[in-house]
């Protein structure tokens, strides 16, 4: 089984022309040792609690199996694993999972040893050329799960050559659910915090958020972790060792799956996250600590979006069927809240008119709201218009950041639909089955030169980049936004296709028909 759960673009000009190879030196060893020790301590505590529960069950049931289990585990001395006199021993034991890797680092640099055949070598020119990323290339990040193995694939998209390929990938600890690109260097000692970088934040089924450097390949461990197992939280956890571990939502870290991530493009050190633990958290990337935790919702918080102009306003959607626009400077004030008819899937601000925002729902409906009009009761919310875009959940949608009024929706019905949002309401331009299975991600490219490119991915594990400007219906709908061309234009689709037994074929509904120009499926709610 292979599927892609999320994608995001990296704007041109941020990726290093020649990514560097990961270096495992003494400093990196010490950093990983601290992070791994914290995770190992957590696992030991879970084992100890489970052991106590098993013993209690055996005593109540009159079975002496608990004693035999204790005898088997005595050699590990788990009862005293947190004693201070064992701290130094544990630091070495923590890295046992990596084998004799520390000594290997030493010997690899010992050029005088004739028995060592694996020496450090400079990259060959050919390999260096293969890794090169041109200024005209776009990067696309795709979160993939394949046969229970999760990883993040870094694609290079060469628009002029109609080429898409995997540049390198990053192993992940659990099923990825959210991916967000960052332009701030994180977790690098001595790096200017006001400088530029190309990093990625990944939220998974685990509560922790991992931050990786996209300009480093073959990385062994993330540059930083936001959550319970972060290096900065080690002191906090050590103080709590003799207390019952927190299982419920708290102010320091998430305790359930991370469903959405949103980087603040104005305050670059701020990253917002929302989780199945019902909380929204604000992280300071300079310190990798949780700056503030919020409880806006009564159910899973599933989607976030920062206001494009008011840099402190955060839009959040939830399975409690409400959307909140909160000013993070005064979150305890009365919160503007809107209601929808079913679970929220995705929320986004209109990049061309920041007074408005979009909401997609499980019922396949898109709502368009004016943020300046807040209902007294969320149940009485009145959107400007609603659009029944699909009959199944709208798992993803995106608003083109370059071309006003250009909306793309993707659904579990396997269809991708393009819409023209006019003053009179939305009208469907074209509907396509791009062969990716159930659509989980639809994202427009962020750069002017490739503004009509739409990345689509889904349950069949394939990625397709659709140059929508080559579709005749799109050209007709956005004629004033597309440069005129001579002669017939062949529709362009670039992607990597996974093998699949799915018999669904590509379908195009009304791509060359004027029937799609009418305002089908939408209902005006403006009074």
Domain layout of the chain by residue ranges: 26-115, 414-527
Strand ranges of the sheet holding 463-467, from the earlier edge strand across to the other edge:
439-444, 453-458, 463-467, 492-496
| Rounded to 5°, angle at Cα 447 from 282 and 438 | 70
Distances (CA, A) of 524 to 45, 159, 348, 387: 57, 39, 20, 9
Q: How far is CA 434 from CA 156, 361, 397, 439, 456, in A?
A: 20, 22, 15, 9, 8
For residue 271, give every residue at least 6 positions away whose Cβ sits within 8 Å of its Cβ, in sequence order, or none.
Answer: 180, 182, 201, 209, 226, 261, 262, 263, 264, 282, 283, 285
- Specify the pLDDT at position 480: 85
274 forms beta bridges with 260, 280
Give whole-number Cα distances, 416 to 314, 407, 429, 455, in Å.
28, 11, 11, 11
User: Rounded to an integer, what distance in angstroms lies between the CA atom of residue 225 and that of residue 212?
Assistant: 9
CB-facing half-sphere around the CA of 158: CA atoms within 13 A: 11
The 8-class DSSP code of residue 518 comes to S
DSSP string for residues in 447-467: SGGGTTEEEEEETTS-EEEEE
Segments in the chain below pLDDT 70: 22-46, 48-50, 53-129, 188-194, 230-247, 331-333, 485-487, 496-527
Asked whether the beta carbons of 218 and 168 are under 8 A apart, the reply is yes
Q: Which of 202, 208, 378 lies closest to 297, judged by CA?
A: 378
Question: What's the rounded Cα separation, in Å, for the pair 198 and 217?
Answer: 12
3-state helix, strand, coil in the chain (%, to 5): 20, 35, 45
3-state secondary structure 136-197: CCEEEEEEEEECCEEEEEEEEEECCCCEEEEEEEEEECCCEEEEEEECCCCCCCCCCCCCCC
Instruction: In whole angstroms, give the CA distance from residue 521 to residue 273.
Output: 33
User: Which of 141, 211, 205 lies closest to 441 in space, CA to CA?
Assistant: 141
CA distance 227 to 109: 35
Phi first, then psi: give them for residue 57, nearest 5 degrees: -65, -40
Q: How far apart are CA 258 and CA 272, in angstroms?
A: 11
Q: What is the pLDDT at residue 369?
A: 97
Q: What is the pLDDT of residues 380-420, one digit of tens each?
A: 999 999 999 999 999 999 999 999 999 999 999 999 999 99
Looking only at the bridges linking them, the beta strands covering 20-21 and 216-217 are: parallel
Chain centroid to CA 502? 27
Which residues, listed in sequence order, are joined to residue 180 by a DSSP beta bridge?
Answer: 201
Strand order in the sheet with 138-146: 2-10, 138-146, 149-158, 163-172
Question: DSSP 3-state assignment of 526?
Answer: coil
pLDDT at 513: 37
Q: 420 by DSSP, 3-state: which?
A: strand
Question: 216: which strand partners?
Answer: 20
The alpha carbon of residue 126 and the mean position of all alpha carbons in its chain are separated, in whole angstroms, by 33
pLDDT for 38: 59
What is the rounded distance in angstroms from the CA atom of residue 17 to the CA atom of residue 135?
7
Q: What is the pLDDT of residue 475?
A: 92
């Amino acid at each position: 089984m292979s599927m892609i759960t999320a994608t995001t673009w990296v704007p041109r000009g941020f990726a290093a022309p020649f990514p560097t190879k990961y270096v495992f030196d003494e400093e990196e060893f010490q950093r990983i040792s601290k992070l791994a020790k914290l995770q190992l301590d957590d696992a030991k505590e879970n084992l100890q609690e489970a052991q106590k529960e098993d013993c209690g069950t055996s005593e109540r049931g009159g079975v002496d199996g608990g004693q035999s289990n204790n005898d088997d585990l005595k050699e590990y001395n788990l009862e005293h694993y947190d004693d201070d006199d064992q701290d130094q021993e544990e630091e070495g034991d923590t890295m046992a999972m990596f084998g004799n890797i520390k000594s290997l680092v030493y010997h690899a640099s010992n050029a005088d040893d004739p028995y060592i055949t694996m020496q450090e070598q400079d990259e060959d020119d050919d390999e260096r050329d293969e890794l090169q990323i041109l200024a005209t290339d776009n990067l696309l990040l795709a979160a993939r799960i394949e046969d229970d193995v999760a990883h993040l694939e870094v694609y290079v998209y060469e628009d002029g050559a109609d080429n898409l390929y995997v540049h390198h990938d990053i192993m992940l600890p659990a099923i990825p659910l959210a991916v967000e690109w960052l332009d701030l260097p994180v977790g690098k000692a001595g790096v200017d915090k006001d400088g530029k970088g190309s990093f990625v934040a990944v939220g998974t089924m685990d509560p922790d958020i991992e931050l990786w450097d996209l300009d480093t390949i073959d990385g062994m461990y993330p540059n930083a972790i936001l959550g319970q197992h972060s290096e900065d939280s080690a002191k906090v956890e050590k103080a709590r060792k003799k207390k019952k571990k927190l299982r419920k939502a708290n102010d320091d870290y998430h305790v359930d799956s991370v469903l959405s991530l949103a980087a603040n493009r104005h305050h670059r050190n701020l990253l917002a996250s929302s989780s199945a633990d019902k909380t929204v958290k604000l992280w300071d990337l300079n310190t990798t600590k949780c700056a503030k935790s919020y409880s806006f919702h009564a159910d899973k918080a599933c989607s976030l979006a920062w206001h494009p102009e008011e840099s402190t306003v955060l839009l959040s959607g939830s399975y409690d069927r409400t959307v909140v626009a909160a000013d993070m400077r005064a979150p305890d004030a009365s919160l503007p809240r809107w209601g929808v008819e079913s679970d929220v899937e995705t929320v986004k601000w209109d990049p061309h008119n920041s007074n408005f925002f979009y909401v997609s729902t499980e019922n396949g409906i898109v709502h368009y709201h004016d943020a300046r009009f807040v209902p007294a009761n969320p149940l009485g919310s009145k959107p400007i218009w609603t659009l029944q875009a699909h009959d199944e959940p709208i798992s993803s949608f995106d608003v083109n950041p370059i071309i006003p009024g250009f909306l793309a929706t993707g659904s579990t019905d396997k269809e991708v639909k393009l819409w023209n949002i006019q003053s009179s309401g939305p009208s469907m331009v074209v509907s396509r089955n791009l062969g990716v299975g159930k659509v989980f991600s639809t994202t427009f490219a962020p750069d002017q030169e490739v503004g009509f490119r739409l990345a689509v991915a889904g349950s069949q594990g394939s990625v397709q980049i659709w140059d929508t400007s080559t579709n005749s219906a799109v050209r007709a709908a956005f004629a004033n936004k597309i440069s005129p061309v001579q002669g017939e234009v062949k529709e362009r689709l670039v992607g990597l296709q996974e093998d699949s037994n799915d018999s669904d074929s590509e379908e195009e509904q009304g791509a060359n028909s004027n029937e799609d120009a009418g305002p089908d499926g939408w209902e005006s709610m403006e009074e």
